[in-house]
Amino acid sequence: AWIFILLLPGLSDGGKLLVVPMDGSHWLSMRQVVEKLTERGHEVVVLIPEVSWQMKTTQACTVKTYPVSYTLEELDNAFHEYVATHLKDLPFPLNVLALYNNSVHVFHTFFVQCKNLFNSKETLQYLNQSGFDAVLTDPIFMCGATLANYFSLPFVFFMRGFPCNLHYEAPQCPSPLSYTPRLFTFNSDRMTFFQRVENALVALLELVYCNSFYEDMIKFSSEVLQRDVSLLDLLNSASIWLLRFDFVFEYVRPVMPNMVFIGGINCAQRKPLCK
């Protein structure tokens, strides 16, 4: 519960937090929390790669960068291919296969980023000597969770969602296939019989394709932590799940006590609609 303690004024003399964000729009939401923590007197260090899209911070934060082996052009190309695949109007199962192949490519790009981090001895030495109290991380590529386990620090997830329904499977939340559509199916919670069959087939495929998404990362995490770890091992060790979407807009299901919905944070920098 470190993040809750840090956010409450008067209950803490100031903690030291390591932030391991995800690039792009993910960081734009997390930055609101980081800025609020620094305003309340906490020391925040944001760990970012030297090559990134939107990783800009306020002067109040300490920024620690680490070298990476890819260029901004390679990062842009991976993202453009990912977006273009989503805009294609392909029928099932061609849409699922296309999104899967492109997602594997994107995941590999960010896996290289994490590997570069752990290959930077200077960065690891700095983090080890900094005496952090906790880690705040976007878990989509699991690098922050691996880093927190490496330094034996408690960590908090700040996230929108996982592929393969992992943000409900890991905390053991019920997710009935008849009422909860799976990612990539584009169904609603009111499905025909054949859509439910499709939903069940995609759920079975998740066991295969999600392991493929994270195969390199899990193998690397096992090497770094010097023990066999699974994807669920890393996810289950999170102290709190801060879910940046609104429960009322999701399909009905029970959630665990350490899952907190903070959907309003996405509207922190709102502007009037154009007339």
pLDDT digits (tens, 9 = 90+) for 115-160: 999 999 999 999 999 999 999 999 888 999 999 999 999 999 998 8
Strand (E) or helix (H) holding 16:
strand 16-20
Tell me the percentage of the chain whose pLDDT exceeds 90: 28
pLDDT at position 70 is: 84
Q: Which two structure tokens, joined as six digits, stand for 136?
A: 């705040």
According to the per-residue pLDDT averaged within each range, which of 74-83, 86-95, 195-204, 206-215 is highest? Answer: 195-204
pLDDT at position 18 is: 96
pLDDT at position 59 is: 66
What is the CB neighbour count within 10 angstroms for residue 149? 19
Q: Which two structure tokens, joined as six digits, stand for 207?
A: 């066991």
pTM of the model: 0.84
